[in-house]
Structure 1
């Protein structure tokens, strides 16, 4: 009865769509580079700069702010955030197992799963994430998956065609309609479909 939650997915994350920039000035460091958290530092995030700015403007914890302030998230920083969430959950008797492809399993450390497991665990998880990982995992995953922040249909349809899941007649317009309807003309659980969803540009995941 492990609770599985997908975490912040590739699409539909409202917080990442808030076009708010952090007005923190453009001061330079002693070496001439941008100060972390400044507009100049966030601009180094390229097309994701607004998303980093929106996250920083959302009253994130000091721990998370330090990670996001330079407009980039490293794998080591993601691991640090996950470790903090895990230790926070353990204080309340819960464990968490992160999937390298995204998402996680939330577990009971005493292997007991009463009917109200979700009701008890979810507020604890949300509290732990607020302290360490409201945006870190999401921004790491999305900037790695789609660094130029290209349109989803533009990067997904060629992948689907290349893998043979759809034919050349399958258009970006059709993909958008199918996405809105939540129904695609192929098996979404097939390995190729999962690959095109998680890593349509083939930048980081080995099929």
Structure 2
């Protein structure tokens, strides 16, 4: 048995920023429509991301996530409840984590899973991330903790990719040949970006080591450090 540390939702924070940059998340003009429907309005540095996540939660019928996001604040207690919901959901599917932290980092005991078991894990991860509200909430909780004023929020998708590549090189996680072009543009579900992340965080990945896994998470959290 081996111990695997998986830190995923910190990556999702960057994913949503890039998706909003590429897809032009709703701007202030949508506030009037939201008010007329009795929906919350968002006005802080992360307003567009709250609006995007709130709308995604609504489309998925997750009223718990909507209620958490509604006031544009996410407390540690709320983030902890999300983590607990995710952990219980995965346990019901047969995947027992040692812990799931409010920031989305997880640890579990795992052997050498077969391809079928890995596929089952990824399918359940998607289901539980949505059911628990993790996919809608945790990345914003991390964003508010790490960058409350939104200093990193308003970069273009190209600037985000460039910052990530430079940070990874600075930390020695990749060689000098690695460029922003090696960082995929985030698609509708972030799958290609997640696959790149797995090359750093999953044993057997092209860039995997414990240090590189940490570097990937750190560079996604804040490439300035």
Report the TM-score range of the alignment, normalised by the length of the smaller protein.
0.5 to 0.7
Q: CA RMSD in A?
A: 3.9
**Paired residue total:** 169
CA separation of 1:70 and 1:112: change in aligned 2, threshold 3 A: same
Q: Secondary structure at the match of 1:184?
A: helix
TM-score, structure 1 normalization: 0.63
**Do the aligned partners of 1:2 and 1:105 also contact (CA within 8 Å) in 2?**
yes
Aligned to 2:107: 105
Structure number, greater radius of gyration: 1
Contact 1:15 1:54 in 2 (8 A): no
State the 1:102 CA deviation. 5.0
Structural mapping, 1:44-59, within 5 Å: 46-58=44-56, 59=59
Does the 8 Å contact 2:164/2:219 carry over to 1? no
How far did 1:57 drift? 1.3
* TM-score, normalising length: structure 2: 0.58
Supply the distance in 2 between the matched residues of 1:78 and 1:47 (Cα, whole angstroms): 19
Partner of 1:31: none
Matched with 1:127 is 127
- 1:87, distance to aligned residue in structure 2 (A): 1.1
Partner of 1:25: 35
Residue 185 (1) aligns with residue 183 (2): no
* Structure 2 counterpart of 1:165: none
Mean CA deviation greater in 93-102 or 68-77: 93-102
| 1:113 CA displacement | 3.8
Query: How do 1:44-193 and structure 2 match up within 5 A?
Result: 46-58=44-56, 59-60=59-60, 61-96=62-97, 97-99=99-101, 102-107=104-109, 113-132=113-132, 133-151=134-152, 177=162, 179-180=164-165, 183-187=168-172, 189=211
Aligned to 1:38: 40
Shift of 1:101: 6.3
Give deviations 1:66-117, integer Å, cap 9, x for gaps.
Answer: 1111111111001101111111111111123335765323556xx7844532
1:16/1:64 Cα in 2 relative to 1: closer, same or farther (>3 Å)? Answer: farther
Contact 1:153 1:176 in 2 (8 A): no
Deviation at 1:136, TM superposition (A): 0.9
